[in-house]
Homo-oligomer: A and B are copies of this chain.
Amino acid sequence: MNVPNPKITTGALPASRKIYVAGEIHKDIRVPMREISVHPTAGEPPLPVYDSSGPYTDPDVLTDIRQGLAPLRRDWIVARGDVEEYEGREVKPEDNGFVQGDRLTPEFPVRPKPLRAKDGVAVTQLAYARAGIVTPEMEYIAIRENQLREAVKEERDGHDWGANIPDYVTPEFVRDEVAAGRAIIPANINHPELEPMIIGRNFLVKINANMGTSAVSSSMEEEVDKLVWSIRWGADTVMDLSTGRNIHNTREWIVRNSPVPIGTVPIYQALEKVNGIAEDLTWEVFRDTLIEQAEQGVDYFTIHAGVRLHMVPMTAKRVTGIVSRGGSIMAKWCLHHHKESFLYDHFDEICDICRKYDVSFSLGDGLRPGSIADANDEAQFAELETLGELTKIAWAKDCQVMIEGPGHVAMHKIKENMDKQLECCHEAPFYTLGPLTTDIAPGYDHITSGIGAAMIGWFGCAMLCYVTPKEHLGLPDRDDVKTGVITYKIAAHAADLAKGLPGAQRRDDALSRARFEFRWEDQFNLALDPETARDFHDQTLPKEAHKVAHFCSMCGPKFCSMRISHDIRAEAQKEGMEAMAAKFREGGELYVPAPEASDAKAEPAE
């Protein structure tokens, strides 16, 4: 049989080396980080940075897409003694949209038996946290979040809006945040290839990249490539929003090769199973789909259980009605049957499935605004309150929960979204799409939304769902995925800085020092996107010689302000800066202290 072998991009980023840090509680864990080295003249150690790219950027690891990644969590999971292997659900023709022959995406070559919790047990990180257990996942995350920094002692530069950010992340802190429901660790027991990460307001702001096949385009090979490509640039989780055919087999290839959590919107596949007719959806079809995906290892489910029958009319007067696909599907179902949503009515049973596999909830905002005009309206906030109720139900079942948010929101209404979410949803992590701060720039919605994403991240949003330049217009290609990821890494990092997250500014400072010292190579290598930075520089000054030039193309050799600053610093140091400053302040006609001078100067103006 001819097994496909998708092409992917591997190898280290420039001047970067993969390192692994061992645990103390759990000696066998190896937490990956990326170390960026700088020029010897800098006299600085390499800079460790958070690394979501997985083994693909480690030249010492041979990855084979047809084999999938190593199941590094398998032993941890089995060691807990609360799971059992079982036959699992048979793959059915409808799982792949009844497609056959050549048009069927080949099954993933390896098919491990799925695991599930033993009867009645919850195998969620929340259950362990509540039991006071520090899992390997939790210690892994603590090490990962600290990025080898020391505990910060000095006063913080930032404004955290009431978050509870620690000087140093301990495994116990991770456990306590998870136990309180303020953070989640999406980690399905059937996704052992996962490198654990956390989503919570008191940790680094994370970003999600969406991908997936659709009725009108793209293949499994493309999607696997996009997965590897998106994490290479920094995506912390990936949502597979595939529609159309081959959903099951495509997802298997993605999960087996993903070191980051995979999220899905199960209602999409359920709808395919009933030929796209929303009215024909049933609880049974949906339930079967949840089990199918849970067995494959999906780490979080977007469930639009907050869209209730009585809310639907609230959307009728909107400018853009219901823009969430899941939300509109459920609204249509409710309306057609004149019944309460089966997701809402069966939410308890949904929780029973999720706790068996540790699938986290991403409670969907089916009524999020699709335009500036609809932001923060009755429908949106009515649903948010329901999501708050559902959060308590899920927590009572030891299920992990995050809450999805908008969407399209003008800047002055963003904070209200964050505040209301914290209040209604009892501090469960918030996960927003943008928000877009204006509707007038299709083709640039990574930017209209990057503005809103940075702001809501600062205010306390835990994860930002990226938006690509193709939003509203088409399906993102490879370049769009990269642009979306980099834009959202910028938003997330700007938020970390503004929150005063300890250590966040290290990279900015390292890059700025490189800039000031004309270490061009270091500037490129420390950048989020070294390739683009180098390429842009070379477009104006291609010669290698210019990589060491003490000027740049903006000013040219004569004009360089940075070079002049060096002269100033040199002179200041020669004289002794303090002495120099003192002399200036002493006075003598030329050296009148500023205030006096101003009065003198200001008088004629009065």
Interface centre among A340, A438, A487 (most CB of B within 10 A): A438
Report the separation of the CA atoms of residues A317 and B573 in the bound assembly, to the nearest whole angstrom: 10
Which of B372, B440, B559, B569 is in CB contact (< 8 Å) with A268?
B559
A329 CB to nearest chain B CB (Å): 7
Asked whether A562 and B490 contact (CB < 8 A) given A214-B554, A331-B568, the answer is no
Q: Nearest residue in B to A337 (C-beta to C-beta)? A: B590
**In the complex where A320-B512, A393-B604, A565-B315 touch, is A555 in contact with B590 (Cβ < 8 A)?**
no
CB proximity of A498 to chain B, nearest CB, Å: 4
A440-492 interface with B by 8 A CB criterion: 440-444, 446-448, 450-451, 454-455, 458, 469-470, 472-475, 477, 486-487, 489-491
**With an 8 A cutoff between CB atoms, is A362 at the interface?**
no
Interface residues of A in 199-242 (CB under 8 A from B): 214-217
Q: Is A533 an interface residue (CB 8 A)?
A: yes
Whether B437 pairs with A389 at a CB distance below 8 angstroms is: no
A321-B526 in contact given A537-B474, A564-B328 (Cβ < 8 Å) = no
Q: A438-B508, A473-B537 are in contact. Are A601 and B393 (CB under 8 A)?
A: yes
As a 0/1 sequence over residues 559 to 588 of chain A, the CB contacts with chain B under 8 angstroms (1 = contact) are 101101111110111000100110011000
Give complex CA distance A382, B512 in Å: 23
Of A27-35, A71-79, A290-298, A306-314, the stretch lying at the interface with chain B is A306-314
B594 touches A308 (CB 8 A): yes
Of A317, A557, A564, A569, most buried by chain B (CB within 10 Å of CB) is A564
> Do A500 and B553 contact each other (CB < 8 Å), given the known contacts A313-B584, A338-B590, A487-B444?
no
Number of interface residues of A (CB under 8 A): 151
Does A439 have its Cβ within 8 Å of any Cβ on chain B?
yes
A190 at the interface (CB under 8 A from B): no
Q: How distant is the Cα of A82 from the Cα of B16 in the complex, in angstroms?
A: 67
Measured between C-beta atoms, what is the minimum distance from A586 to chain B in Å? 10
Q: Is A119 an interface residue (CB 8 A)?
A: no
Interchain CA distance A466-B594 in the complex, whole Å: 32
A437 CA to B495 CA, complexed, in Å: 9
Q: Within 8 Å of chain B (Cβ to Cβ): is A118?
A: no
A323 at the B interface (CB under 8 A): yes
- The answer, yes or no, to whether A117 is at the interface (CB within 8 Å) is no
Set B382, B450, B533, B584: member contacting A442, Cβ < 8 A: B533
Q: In the bound complex, do residue A372 and residue B604 qualify as a contact, i.e. CB atoms below 8 Å apart?
A: no
Known A458-B412, A602-B389: A372·B497 in contact at CB below 8 Å: yes
A443: contacting residue among B312, B500, B529, CB under 8 A: B529
Contact between B593 and A310, CB atoms less than 8 A apart: yes
* Docked-complex contact A475 and B594, CB < 8 angstroms: no
| Residues from chain B with Cβ under 8 Å of A557 in the complex | 215
Question: How many Å from the CB of A232 to the closest CB on chain B?
Answer: 16
Interface assignment of A43: CB less than 8 Å from any CB of chain B: no
Partner of A590, one of B309, B541, B594: B309
Q: Are B310 and A568 touching (Cβ within 8 A)?
A: no
Per a CB cutoff under 8 Å, which of B386, B411, B509 touches A455? B411
Q: Report yes or no: B443 in contact with A509, Cβ–Cβ below 8 A.
A: no
A129-151 vs B: 1/0 string, CB under 8 Å? 00000000000000000000000
Chain B CB within 8 A of A348 CB: yes
Say whether A527 faces chain B, with CB atoms less than 8 Å apart: yes
Q: When the two chains form the complex, which single residue of B385, B500, B577 contacts A317, counting CB atoms closer than 8 Å?
A: B577
Question: Is residue A264 within 8 Å, beta carbon to beta carbon, of the partner chain?
Answer: no
Cα A597 to Cα B473 with chains together (Å): 39
Among the listed B412, B559, B564, which residue makes an inter-chain contact with A243, where contact means beta carbons less than 8 Å apart?
B559
Residue contact B529 to A386, C-beta cutoff 8 Å: no
A335 at the interface (CB under 8 A from B): yes
State in angstroms the CA–CA spacing of A310 and B526 once bound together: 35
Residues in A157-180 with C-beta less than 8 Å from chain B? 157-159
- The answer to whether B451 touches A319, judged by C-beta atoms less than 8 angstroms apart, is no
Q: Is A515 an interface residue (CB 8 A)?
A: yes
A148 to chain B, nearest CB (A): 17
Q: Which residues of B contact A159 (CB under 8 A)?
A: 412
A444/B598 contact (C-beta < 8 A), A498-B412, A513-B319, A568-B322 known: no
Evaluate contact between A475 and B553: CB separation under 8 angstroms. Answer: yes
A452: nearest chain-B partner, CB-CB: B494
Q: Are A442 and B527 interface neighbours, CB within 8 A?
A: yes
In-complex Cβ contact of A516 among B319, B437, B497, B591 (8 A): B319
Partner of A527, one of B338, B411, B441, B516: B441
Shortest Cβ distance from A511 into chain B, in angstroms? Answer: 5
Give Cα A322 to B159, complex, Å: 27
Given contacts A313-B577, A450-B451, contact A444 B529 (CB under 8 A): yes
Question: Is the CB of A327 closer than 8 A to any CB of chain B?
Answer: yes
Jot down 28 A-B pairs with beta carbons below 8 A, ordered by A.
A158-B412, A216-B553, A217-B540, A243-B555, A243-B556, A243-B559, A244-B556, A271-B559, A319-B516, A322-B561, A323-B565, A373-B508, A393-B604, A396-B605, A412-B497, A437-B454, A437-B490, A438-B490, A441-B486, A441-B528, A442-B524, A443-B536, A444-B532, A447-B490, A469-B536, A473-B536, A474-B536, A474-B552
Q: Ordered nearest first, which 10 A-B pairs have the shortest CB separation?
A: A321-B565, A215-B556, A474-B540, A276-B558, A371-B512, A396-B605, A328-B561, A411-B498, A443-B532, A328-B564
**Besides A328-B565, A331-B568, A470-B540, 18 new A-B residue pairs in contact (Cβ under 8 A), listed by A number:** A216-B553, A244-B556, A312-B568, A316-B573, A321-B562, A325-B555, A340-B590, A385-B598, A386-B594, A389-B598, A411-B495, A438-B497, A439-B515, A442-B523, A444-B486, A451-B455, A473-B533, A474-B536
